[in-house]
A and B are shown apart, each in its own frame.
Chain A
Amino acid sequence: MSKRLLSLCSLVIVFAVVVGSFAPTARAQDDLSGSLEIFSWWAGSEGPALEALIALYNEQHPNVEVINATVAGGSGVNARAVLKTRMEGGEPPDSFQVHAGQELIGTWVAADRMEDLTFLFEEQGWFEVFPEGLIDLLSTDEGIWSVPVNIHRSNVLWYNPAKLEEWGVEVPATWDDFLAVCPTLQDAGVTPLVVGEAWTVNHLWESVALGVLGAEGWNGIWTGETDLEGEEFLAVWDTFGKVLECSNFGEDNEGLPWDKATDRIADGTAAFNVMGDWAAGYMTTTLELVPGEGFGYAPAPGTDGVFMMLSDSFGLPVDAPNRDAAIAWLTLLGSKEGQDAFNPLKGSIPARIDGDVTNPELYNTYLQSAAADWAVDTIVGSLVHGAAANENFAGNFGSVVDLFTTSGAPEAAAAEFIALCESSGACGG
């Protein structure tokens, strides 16, 4: 019985292979041919956005066979490990997804494994359509290293407007305002601020730091201009400690995914949450709430007028086997058409300032407001999401936060922060 099943199975497999190899190859004429391997972590719910891009690419270059190599896993933890193994083994994909900024520069540009894309930016006139602050984050003195596809915002404060009214609380404009309303909320039996597992706590830290230091002070951390032994930086940790005391930290945050934390805003057991704006996508799509009514949003306290961004981007590895096809791919990613095809599905805004962002069929109320801010705000990079600091710093930053929450001593955290700056070389000369 089982033998027969086995032979049946193998027959099916052989059949499939034979049919596969004779698949129709009739395609239209195009200057490009061969294949293109794109490496990313966009599987699952983010898959359709990538597929829309690939469909566009196939339309433009029908002779190129696109190989969509995805390695699943949130924010690319697994994909990055696989990518490192492949690059070490001398088998780079033609183009790979990477968080724009230092995650790319500190690892792959520092290792001389990327091609400078300045020529493409000049050829396509991208200097005019991408904000200057964004191009600064993508560049070193030697060149520009990747093409950003989308923009997410890190410093957003989420709340439930109806509930806030019920509790008689206003949206805090600064962290001091937040600490002032904290007792009111606690008395009402509400968690003033909800945080989740470790990375969301780090995510909160970067919004607190930005709120206390301002855009210039935040950027100064990474250029070495901000005094990390000074009062102001200690104040960051001090405020962070007080904010955590107003949260569920240490109670039930370990192992709480970000979306479960967001749920508590929706159901009114917590008042505020600081999370990136993928939370807007979650609340509109999964929880079916209307932006501005079912959930509210504001810049994180003290960060009005500053846009802390993170971005997915693609670069060109030095030994890309199909360089021309890869350049065509990057050209598509940076084009208005490509960005407007990708972002509505991904739930993010285009990196270009001339995207079709006022079109309500493509972008909802939240995204429209984010895009409006994107065009005028000061742009800074996120630490937790790879823009501001290299992988070594970002990967070990969690221990600094752990040390702080264990000891409660801002001096200790600052000292450890400085030690990490030195060992990782992430904080400028």
Chain B
Amino acid sequence: MYNRKDKAIAFLMISPSLILLAIFVYFFIGQTAWYSVSDWGIDPATALKKGVEKNYVGLDNYHTLISSASDYEFRLAFISTFYFTIFFLSSCLILGFFLAFLLDQRIKGEGIFRTIFLFPMSLSFVVTGTIWNWLLKPKGGLNILPNKLFGTDPLEYKWLNSDTTLFKFEWLKGGTLFYLGIALFTFALFTYVAQKRNLSGFWVVIAGLVLWLISAAGFWDKIWVPIDDPVRDIGTYQGYGYSAALSGIVIAATWQMAGYVMALFLAGIRGISEELREAARVDGCAEWQVYTRIILPQLRPIALSAIIILGHISLKIFDLVYAMTGIDNKYVKVPGILMLKGFRSNEWARSSAVAMVMLFAISLVIIPYLWSNLRTEKQS
């Protein structure tokens, strides 16, 4: 095995990148976390003062994000991201699998098709965004395509500026129910993980529940109680939901990433031995049953990887939205755009809080994945 000298050398070799990571990733995450609980930029006059004193204000910034009228945008962005993730993931997975299924039919020129489907991935999101922005113009691109082809009336679909909101719910009014839902969800997640991992499940569940209750009780009147606000009293809130204007973004993102999912699935399908399929056929499976009973179940780990990879892209999506709608589109908001807006109005603490919420959402996806990966690596 390795001796001490080997270990020392190995450590020396990786230390430069460890140090760089420690400074440029973890130190700055810490810095952002500290700004997000400070009052830096709350008073615009001192936002850029030399050596300005930053005071600790607890969770005030998060409180405002969650309940003040002026941060309507943030909540819209948060919920938009949630819906965007769902639609983007499902369309990528379905389309990706469908393409992989087609290519698996041993067709002629498979290599060419594979390249074609995979090609969009080689573009940057900015390029994709610019092109699709042109294609989805209200009076151009896709909308005039039927007119150019068949001479029918041009479509008037508002791809990027529809003011329709679907799947609406009330953030502030039905608050308690919403958070109760979150609580139940957390509970279910804990139970599931405990079962899967064969931990002494009971104790994990209890621990999780207690933890959750404590944190909720601790922050209840800090976070959930809305700030007094004249605007809300006028009753003009429209409710939050999936803004139909996001569909343009979903289309562009799917166009770019579906080929990638296809490649993953195709590799997975090809990895399943032909004997298994043959055996299934001999046992009397119809061809579609081979897919649903044999292939799909074996693709589960690949689907999980795809979900993790696409999920973290979608939760931190910025460049595509920026290229397609700019930062001031009324209907399309994502947290990354709001962070950028912070630079315009010198709201450092608020921007940092937005960034921390994003980080938290992404780590909800990434950390369990890394954790289970590490476990399986250790086992093997």
Query: A251 to B46, Cβ gap below 8 A?
Result: no
A11 on interface, CB distance cutoff 8 Å: no
Query: A251 to B231, Cβ gap below 8 A?
Result: no
Select A405's contact among B47, B48, B73, B330, beta carbons within 8 Å: B330
A8 on interface, CB distance cutoff 8 Å: no
- In Å, the complex CA distance between A259 and B231 comes to 35
* Residues of B with C-beta under 8 A to A255: 133, 137, 160-161, 325-326, 329
Query: A395 to B46, Cβ gap below 8 A?
Result: no
Min C-beta distance of A175 to chain B, whole Å: 23
Q: Which of A110-124 contact B (CB under 8 A)?
A: 110-113
* Residues of A with C-beta under 8 A to B133: 255
- In Å, the complex CA distance between A402 and B329 comes to 9
Query: Do A77 and B344 contact each other (CB < 8 Å), given the known contacts A107-B47, A254-B160?
Result: yes
* Residues of A with C-beta under 8 A to B44: 106-107, 110, 390-393, 424-426
Query: B329 to A419, Cβ gap below 8 A?
Result: no
Select A392's contact among B138, B231, B328, B347, beta carbons within 8 Å: B347
Min C-beta distance of B135 to chain A, whole Å: 12
Query: Do A106 and B234 contact each other (CB < 8 Å), given the known contacts A392-B346, A419-B69?
Result: no
When C-beta atoms are compared, the residue in chain A nearest to B237 turns out to be A407
Query: B138 to A407, Cβ gap below 8 A?
Result: no
The secondary-structure label for the interface of chain A is helix
Query: A84 to B343, Cβ gap below 8 A?
Result: yes
Q: Which of B294-330 contact A (CB under 8 A)?
A: 325-326, 328-330
- In Å, the complex CA distance between A267 and B236 comes to 38
Query: A251 to B347, Cβ gap below 8 A?
Result: no
The secondary-structure label for the interface of chain B is loop
* B40-68 interface code vs A (CB 8 A; 1 in, 0 out): 00111111111010000000000000000
B163 on interface, CB distance cutoff 8 Å: yes
Min C-beta distance of A401 to chain B, whole Å: 9
B70 on interface, CB distance cutoff 8 Å: yes
Select B231's contact among A84, A395, A412, beta carbons within 8 Å: A412
- In Å, the complex CA distance between A245 and B133 comes to 26
B124 on interface, CB distance cutoff 8 Å: no
- In Å, the complex CA distance between A255 and B326 comes to 8
- In Å, the complex CA distance between A251 and B162 comes to 8
Query: A395 to B43, Cβ gap below 8 A?
Result: no
- In Å, the complex CA distance between A423 and B45 comes to 11
* Residues of A with C-beta under 8 A to B163: 250
Query: Do A395 and B329 contact each other (CB < 8 Å), given the known contacts A409-B234, A419-B230?
Result: no
Min C-beta distance of A104 to chain B, whole Å: 12
Q: Which of B82-101 contact A (CB under 8 A)?
A: none
- In Å, the complex CA distance between A425 and B328 comes to 23
- In Å, the complex CA distance between A392 and B45 comes to 9
* Residues of A with C-beta under 8 A to B229: 419
- In Å, the complex CA distance between A168 and B52 comes to 61
B148 on interface, CB distance cutoff 8 Å: no
- In Å, the complex CA distance between A316 and B133 comes to 41
Q: Which of B236-256 contact A (CB under 8 A)?
A: 236-238
Query: A252 to B234, Cβ gap below 8 A?
Result: no
Query: Do A402 and B330 contact each other (CB < 8 Å), given the known contacts A87-B48, A391-B345?
Result: yes
Query: B236 to A407, Cβ gap below 8 A?
Result: yes
Query: A88 to B48, Cβ gap below 8 A?
Result: yes
A346 on interface, CB distance cutoff 8 Å: no
* Residues of B with C-beta under 8 A to A80: 343-344
- In Å, the complex CA distance between A151 and B18 comes to 53
Query: A107 to B70, Cβ gap below 8 A?
Result: no
* A219-263 interface code vs B (CB 8 A; 1 in, 0 out): 000000000000000000000000000000011111100000000
When C-beta atoms are compared, the residue in chain B nearest to A416 turns out to be B231
Q: Which of A260-291 contact B (CB under 8 A)?
A: none
A406 on interface, CB distance cutoff 8 Å: yes
A199 on interface, CB distance cutoff 8 Å: yes
- In Å, the complex CA distance between A378 and B52 comes to 38
* Residues of B with C-beta under 8 A to A106: 44-45
* Residues of A with C-beta under 8 A to B45: 106, 110-111, 425
B341 on interface, CB distance cutoff 8 Å: yes
Query: Do A113 and B236 contact each other (CB < 8 Å), given the known contacts A250-B163, A391-B344, A395-B341?
Result: no
B331 on interface, CB distance cutoff 8 Å: yes
* Residues of A with C-beta under 8 A to B52: 111
Query: A252 to B345, Cβ gap below 8 A?
Result: no
When C-beta atoms are compared, the residue in chain A nearest to B76 turns out to be A402
Query: Do A198 and B330 contact each other (CB < 8 Å), given the known contacts A255-B133, A255-B325?
Result: yes
* Residues of B with C-beta under 8 A to A16: none
17 A-B pairs within 8 Å (CB atoms) are namely A110-B45, A111-B48, A197-B329, A199-B328, A254-B138, A254-B161, A254-B329, A390-B44, A392-B47, A403-B236, A407-B236, A412-B231, A416-B70, A416-B231, A419-B231, A423-B70, A426-B44
The 7 closest A-B pairs by CB, nearest first: A395-B345, A407-B236, A198-B328, A252-B138, A254-B161, A392-B44, A110-B45
Residues of A near any B CB (own CB < 8 A) = 77, 80-81, 84, 87-88, 106-108, 110-113, 197-199, 250-255, 390-396, 398-399, 402-403, 405-407, 409, 411-412, 415-416, 418-420, 423-426
Given contacts A111-B52, A415-B231, A416-B69, 12 further A-B contacts (CB under 8 A): A77-B344, A112-B50, A252-B161, A255-B137, A255-B325, A393-B44, A398-B328, A399-B70, A407-B234, A416-B231, A425-B44, A425-B45
